[in-house]
Amino acid sequence: MTIDISQFASTQLSLLASELAAEIAESSALVSLHSPQALQRAGVALANLIVSAQRTGLGGKTVVELAPDPATTSTSTSTNSSGGGGDLPEHGIRVGDIVLLAEQGSGRERKREVREMEGSGVKGVVTRVGRAVVAVAVDEGGGQGKNEDGEGFVAMLGEKRVWIVKVADDVTFRRMNATMEKLAKMEEREYSPFIRVLFGLSSPSPVPADLERDEEAGEIEWVDPTLNDSQKDAIRFALASREIALIHGPPGTGKTHTLIELILQLLKRNLRILVCGPSNISVDNIVERLAPHKVPLIRLGHPARLLPSVLSHSLDVLTRTSEAGAIVKDVRAEMDAKQASIRKTRSGRERKAIYAELKELRKEYRERERRCVSNLVAGSRVVLTTLHGAGGFQLRDEQFDVVIIDEASQALEAQCWVPLLAAKKAICAGDHLQLPPTIKSLNSKNKTTSRKSKDGAEVKGATLETTLFDRLLKLHGPSIKRMLTTQYRMHEKIMRFPSDELYEGKLMAAESVKARLLIDLPYDVQKTDDTTEPLIFIDTQGGDFPEKNEDEQDRGASKKLTKSSLYGDSKSNEMEAALVRQHVRSLVDAGIRPEDIAVVTPYNAQLAILAPLKEMFPGIELGSVDGFQGREKEAVIVSLVRSNPDGEVGFLGEKRRLNVAMTRPKRSLTVIGDSETVKRGSKFLKDWMEFLEENAELRYPDLAALAQEA
């Protein structure tokens, strides 16, 4: 099965265009239909701010500090500790978020303003979130529309009231588009053997069957000899493969652990490596674990979006601190001196002259910085960055022997191609049986319809949801993959169902975890029914616990707006929430620390109902299933929410989502749901419910106690 590469690329381009459009439509619908306060409550905006300070931050970027506007906080009860407008209200803006900073008008003007906001604000990255101040590094020359320069825009704001709102990250799209355009334009003779294999124009070069005995591949000096057999086998295979290797890492099987050893082995073989992941956190995870091995590595990316522990490897920081950076620093000092002298001079002519010199210096600064960056990058044997980060100017002409992509099953294929175009060989790690990246342009209605490519041809079944990992497995079959089979997270009983149903029964629980219970936690835990049983199912069947639609609830502005409501057409279940509370309380009463407990549910509306738990049990974590992928906790409670007479289960029907939900806990999994409804959702759900009925400790709610709880 071969694939027409340029057809593939143009299909991707049209799919990406609709995805970006969907993302923009969603965020502008949200922004135009809700007040800044509602958006603030939903965690996507912060309103009523003023610029309280402005300075130069890392990498020479302009950083503005925003504080509450004193004029709007007079009614607030918060104490004024900073001399500004008091503390910021509750909000959901986090370091690393990309936000649009714009002027905020009065209520009546707001709608028009919002429409114009895209054209009149400036984008930036949140670099610090404090109690009374939030700092944003504004894009240099990245001003939107009429504001060409972020710095200039901020100067213009003066004392005006402003607000910030989270926006879609279109840099990612631009990078993916540029990559796909390049691929579309490539002539067949330009296709490397690597590219040919990835599109099925050639088969992967064969790898010796018994690698352990193979003369070349068998001789490996392990940095970590405690790796398990499946991990060693995956590394041997990845080293021996010529074009592509997939490392399939089911939950808790030490995927990152394996990648670290693999990177060290590749380095021993004098290869140059580019390591990427879809998110900053996935990349930082690797940097943190690679750094102790003292390998020459460099991390590309905006410093505000990196973990503090990783900053010393960041290119921006190295540019300022390394020897190579000294020469850049000189110019910076000269610029600062000139800037200071502007303030001293009164003569317009002199000032003009200084501005001209500054302009020259800035040019010089950029030039030197660029040279310094390219020296640093050229000198490092391991470069780490997000997938789209690989499309930045820093890597423009760089080539790598091997590109490693972690969490490849959570990235769009077009995103993977950003680094892959610079590769001779790729190693992708992931688990295609957990959730793929979230796609916004794909809703239940058009999920199965085919799409039109740019030239109008129907592209059957083409969807962004098919990841590179999925596609390669389908294209070349399981011979290009190795699976890690020992998991170091879950009690054996928690692992059983996902292993049997999804991983061909191949998962094994490591000795150290297979029988671990809550009662064995290294602190004082009482012996109760909850702390000695790893798998509990609280069955709410019987129709006493009906689900509720988000739009049936009184949520003010979002009441009528199903489509662009802050919670979509999400579902909730009050009685289930009461059961969750009851169970959390009993765990905490038994001595379990709230920080060892997580509640996960597929529905955001259910999360909203559960929110008070955070105040009742400080330290507990609440999360959506999708948001909890990659995480783990000692005790996890899963609230399934769906309970209706029609057996409607919505996106519970996605087994990859259920897989993620049920594989987060280490010692205790409690499932709360209506088996009658859920069973009717799919074969997988039916099997799961039956498995729980037979293997879990089965409980039925105590309605009287619950009435009290509710």
Cβ at position 414, least distance to ligand ATP in Å: 23
Residue in 256, 531, 573, 675 binding ligand ATP, rule: CB under 6 A: 256
Query: Which structure tokens are listed for 366?
Result: 């950029």
CB atoms within 10 A of CB 173: 20
d(CA 419, CA 550) in angstroms, rounded, equals: 41
Give 113 or 261: the residue with its C-beta nearer to ligand ATP.
261
Cβ at position 253, least distance to ligand ATP in Å: 5
Sign of CA dihedral 612, 613, 618, 621: negative
Binding of residue 677 to ligand ATP (CB under 6 A): no
d(CA 633, CA 595) in angstroms, rounded, equals: 8
Binding of residue 227 to ligand ATP (CB under 6 A): yes
Region near ligand ATP per CB under 6 A, out of 84-92, 223-231, 493-501, 518-526: 223-231
Give 249 or 534: the residue with its C-beta nearer to ligand ATP.
249
Binding of residue 231 to ligand ATP (CB under 6 A): yes
Cβ at position 324, least distance to ligand ATP in Å: 33
The helix (H) or strand (E) run that includes residue 194 is helix 193-198
Binding of residue 77 to ligand ATP (CB under 6 A): no
Query: Which structure tokens are listed for 50?
Result: 């003023």
Give 144 or 663: the residue with its C-beta nearer to ligand ATP.
663
Give 253 or 558: the residue with its C-beta nearer to ligand ATP.
253
Residue in 36, 143, 204, 251 binding ligand ATP, rule: CB under 6 A: 251
Contacts of 109 (CB under 8 A, 6+ apart): none
Cβ at position 169, least distance to ligand ATP in Å: 23
Q: Which residues within the stretch 476-535 sit at the binding site for ligand ATP (CB under 6 A)?
A: 488
Closest residue to bound ligand ATP by CB:
254
Region near ligand ATP per CB under 6 A, out of 221-229, 388-396, 454-462, 598-606: 221-229
Cβ at position 664, least distance to ligand ATP in Å: 9
Give 139 or 431: the residue with its C-beta nearer to ligand ATP.
431
Binding of residue 228 to ligand ATP (CB under 6 A): yes
What would the DSSP string read from start to end of 485-502? -EESSS-HHHHHHHHHHH
Give 336 or 595: the residue with its C-beta nearer to ligand ATP.
595
Binding of residue 623 to ligand ATP (CB under 6 A): no
N-terminal to C-terminal alpha carbon distance within the chain: 58
User: Do residues 85 and 73 touch, judged by C-beta distance below 8 A?
Assistant: yes
Q: Torsions phi, psi of 224, nearest 5?
A: -115, 100
Residue in 249, 278, 301, 665 binding ligand ATP, rule: CB under 6 A: 249
Contacts of 691 (CB under 8 A, 6+ apart): 496, 497
Distances (CA, A) of 205 to 87, 93, 217, 233, 392: 62, 48, 15, 18, 31
d(CA 655, CA 326) in angstroms, rounded, equals: 54
d(CA 250, CA 656) in angstroms, rounded, equals: 12
Task: List helix spans (H) across 559-702.
Answer: 574-589, 604-610, 613-616, 625-628, 655-662, 675-679, 683-695
Give 254 or 303: the residue with its C-beta nearer to ligand ATP.
254
Q: Which residues within the stretch 628-647 sit at the binding site for ligand ATP (CB under 6 A)?
A: 630
Q: Which residues within the stretch 432-461 sit at the binding site for ligand ATP (CB under 6 A)?
A: none
Q: Which residues of the chain form contacts with ligand ATP (CB under 6 A)?
A: 226-228, 231, 249, 251-257, 488, 630
